[in-house]
Amino acid sequence: MFNAMLDELPTEYKGFWIDTDFGIGIQISQALLNEELSQQERIETSLSLLFMVEDEKGNPLPIPDIYTALDGLKWFLSDWYHDRPNEKS
């Protein structure tokens, strides 16, 4: 079982670098709930926050195709529940 308080968070999704900082998670949630943005803008903003386009040295990183990116966003937002199938949210 994964413990977000004690275990190291993942740094990639299917080989693509992701930013799992707590603040990024909050910003993604805010973007997805922002009614001033279109649905496309909400998704684009969320994906741009989650998937890193360059490393810490400024070198470009590969970015996922849209299907992989959307799966990654869904995984990032909800995978915690799959570790606890008997609990209700």
Residue 9 pLDDT class (50, 70, 90 cuts): confident
CA 64 – CA 68 distance, rounded (Å) = 6
**Greater confidence, 20 or 5?**
20
* Residue type at 17 in one-letter notation: W
Helix (H) or strand (E) holding 17: strand 16-17
| Residue 32 contacts residue 66 (beta carbons within 8 Å) | no
CA 43 – CA 55 distance, rounded (Å) = 22
Residue 39 pLDDT class (50, 70, 90 cuts): very high
Highest mean pLDDT among 7-16, 45-54, 74-83: 45-54
| Residue 50 contacts residue 28 (beta carbons within 8 Å) | yes
CA 69 – CA 7 distance, rounded (Å) = 24
| Residue 63 contacts residue 51 (beta carbons within 8 Å) | yes
- What's the predicted TM-score (pTM) here? 0.79
pLDDT digits (tens, 9 = 90+) for 61-80: 999 999 999 999 999 888 75
